[in-house]
Amino acid sequence: MTAILNILLLILFLVSTPKESFQDDQLQIRMKRNWGFSSGTGRIQGTFTITGIGPENLSQVVFYLDEQILGEANSPPFELRFVTDDYPLGPHQISAVGSTAARGEIVSNTIQVEFVSANEGWQAAGNIIIPIVVVVLGAIGLAVVVPLIFTRGKKKQLPPGAARSYGHYGGAICPKCSRPFSRHIYGLNLGLHKYDRCPYCGKWSLVRRASKEELDAAEEAELTAAQEGKFQPQTSEEEALQRDLEDSRFED
């Protein structure tokens, strides 16, 4: 019973307390990068914006770099943009003092930074970006080279008009042999197209994801060509070589 009474009293207190008493009476400053370099550990170079966040009755924010005034903002959002190259290199402290009608001045938190030169910033950024680019290019290379190695000369034999499922990546129509096929996970994404391999003719080409109507029409055309005797199934290099060897036995 006592616990329930305490909860009711707490709810009544929360409801009856003026909203102003719950407003954050502290001033917080945050910094974001507009352009340039930021190491994530405080080493920065370029253009940045400082924002002051405080109570609703905040009327002015004066920003400081060390003990020197960096600038001020007199209306929401209380922001100030600055360029690190305009100030000496090395460690600095960024802070702010806000003005309110109720409390007068309120002091913000302090952000520790280190201004570095443009060359040092680009060099540090390159040390981060270059390994990422190498990994991405390596993954793309593997996505292309591995299928080329393991699918070389291999062709899929599927009767014309046979039922097929195009899977998660959808189907495409080969521009070389006009047969519909399922796009592969190893196909290289190039925007709306994939650089993919047709399993029937073995050719690589840029193909887009075809609609169900287009795939149905391609299947129907494939079946019609087979019924008219125009469909020529593709053969692999090994099958073609074996066929040539068998035909050569009947030659003089």
Q: What's the pLDDT tens digit per position in 157-168?
A: 677 767 778 888
Helix (H, G, I), strand (E, B) or coil at 21: helix
Q: For residue 23, what pLDDT is reported?
A: 46
Q: Regarding predicted confidence, which is higher, 223 or 64?
A: 64
| pLDDT of 245 strictly over 70 | no
CA separation for the pair 8, 16 (Å, rounded): 12
pTM of the model: 0.47
| pLDDT of 156 strictly over 60 | yes
| In contact, 71 and 63? CB cutoff 8 Å | yes
Weakest-pLDDT range from 188-192, 195-199, 227-231, 246-250 = 246-250
DSSP designation for 201: T
Q: What's the pLDDT tens digit per position in 22-47?
A: 345 789 999 999 999 888 889 999 99
- For the chain, the structural domain boundaries read 16-120, 138-231
Q: Read out DSSP for 31-93?
A: EEEEEEEE-SSSEEEEEEEEEEE--TTEEEEEEEETTEEEEEE-SSSEEEEEEGGGS-SEEEE
| pLDDT of 128 strictly over 80 | no
Q: What's the pLDDT tens digit per position in 100-121?
A: 877 789 999 999 999 999 887 6
Helix (H) / strand (E) element for 164: namely: none
| In contact, 65 and 17? CB cutoff 8 Å | no
Q: In the CATH hierarchy, which fold is given to the domain comprising 16-120?
A: Immunoglobulin-like (2.60.40)
The two beta strands, 111-115 and 43-53, are: parallel
